Amino acid sequence: MLLFALLLAPCSLIAQSLTVNAPFDPAHYQPLDGPQRFHRWMMEDGGSAAIHVQSLTSATYLQFIADPSAWNRSAGGFARRLGSGYGANLIQNSVHESLAAAAGSDPRYFACACSGFFHRSGYALKMTFLTHARSGRLTLDLPQLAGIYSSSMAEAGWWPHHYSALTQGVQTGHIQVGLTGAIHLTQEFSPEFKRLVRWPKAGNKGIGNKGTGNRGTGGAGGVQ
């Protein structure tokens, strides 16, 4: 029950900060313009609750398992882990949003037009690797994957010297891809999450981001 509560609370808080877009409709699709993309980037890097919840959750988890061990379980160690989480999130968001803008791909998450738990879950996991191009067609989401792996490798680079960007960094990237899928599931089922926990209605409707652009609880010691 404790583990369920630890997993449910961050998902519920993140769900409250996200606006999930209506199912994708090619006939009415409007790509994001430059100002809209810049606003989303600013929201991801501190304007919404998601980055704060995920960075705090990650630091708390890593503090509990004492990873990296060289940082101990002291207040100073927690501060390093929290700062590391924020730093990795900022890198991931910046790489994702800038490459998406250059490629013309859409970082938003659009809800599934389907119904049923398994169909919706399969769609959410599929969109971990795919996104919509400017034309509206589905394409491989290289900007999101680049943001995940570059931030994981960068984070491993500032951890203690025995952590390798090409080993622990890439491993953490794999786990982060999995957590991005979990966040997509949270987005897809956010109406159910909100009814389950019955949080008060938030004034800020959030950013509706595909995958939220922020990291989970994996850390560079391998977690979206």
Q: What is the mean pLDDT of residues 178-203?
A: 77
0.95 surpassed by pTM: no
75-94 pLDDT, tens per residue?
A: 999 999 999 999 999 999 99
pLDDT band at 202 (very low <50, low <70, confident <90, very high): very low
Q: What is the mean pLDDT of the chain?
A: 83
Residue 48: what pLDDT? 78
The torsion angles phi and psi of 167, rounded to 5 degrees, stand at: -110, -75
pLDDT above 90 (res 177): yes
Q: What is the mean pLDDT of residues 47-73?
A: 89
Lowest mean pLDDT among 20-29, 70-79, 211-220: 211-220
Mind giving me the DSSP string for 191-217? Answer: HHHHHHH-PPPPS-----BTTTT---S
Residue pair 162/207 in contact (Cβ under 8 Å)? The answer is no
- Percent of the chain whose predicted confidence (pLDDT) is above 70: 79
Residue 180 makes CB contacts below 8 A (sequence gap 6+) with 128, 144, 148, 211, 216, 224
pLDDT above 50 (res 205): no
